[in-house]
Amino acid sequence: MFRSVLGKTLGFVGYTVTYGCFAHCAFEYIGEFVLCSGPSMEPTIVNHDIVFSERMSPRLCKIQKVIGLEGDKVCTSSPSDLLKAHTYVPNGHVWLEGDNLKNSTDSRIYGPIPYALIRGRICLKLWPLHSFGSLSERPT
């Protein structure tokens, strides 16, 4: 009796550990589902949208759609400013801005982002269903 219970328990633990390792690798190296919050990407992505973030592009150095890459000159002032300020993106960094320029927390607030901190690229909008589809198809 004891051996039977122990065998079933160890079998269950083995399956749980196997599934946990598989899930960790999938979410860390392939992609993850993200519940979005905040106004920075409106109207493309709004509060409570669910998107899929793929994790392979940063590892393969395939991040392309950013405002500025290392060495680029970027405008650091808001669209309504009369006098425009500029800066250069340092080596190993990128300049990121949200779609909603009037209400976005982005590189204009906290500066250039180290490339190593980019974890993924949003590629698919899953929810709400009426806007399901690839984000690359949407106008920028």
Closest CA to 42 of 115, 111, 131: 131
Q: What residue has token string 């920028």?
A: 140
- Indicate whether 74 belongs to any domain: yes
- 139, part of any domain: no
d(CA 100, CA 43): 7
Q: Which residue has the higher pLDDT, 134 or 138?
A: 134
SS3 55: coil
Instruction: Give the pLDDT confidence of 111-125 residue by residue, as tens digits.
Output: 899 988 888 888 889
Please compute the mean of the pLDDT values over residues 18-46 and round it to a whole number. Answer: 89
Residue 63, domain member (yes or no): yes
Spatial distance between the Cα atoms of 71 and 108, rounded to a whole number of angstroms: 16
CATH code for the domain of 30? 2.10.109
The identity of residue 71, as a single letter, is G
Structural domains of the chain, count: 1
SS3 of 65, please?
Answer: coil
Helices (H), the chain: 2-25, 56-59, 107-110
pLDDT tens for each residue of 64-119: 668 888 889 988 877 677 788 888 999 999 998 888 888 888 888 888 999 888 88
Q: pTM for this structure?
A: 0.69
34 pLDDT more than 70:
yes
Question: Is residue 93 in some structural domain?
Answer: yes
Give tens-digit pLDDT for 36-63: 888 888 888 888 999 998 888 777 776 6
Two structure tokens written together for 30: 């392939």
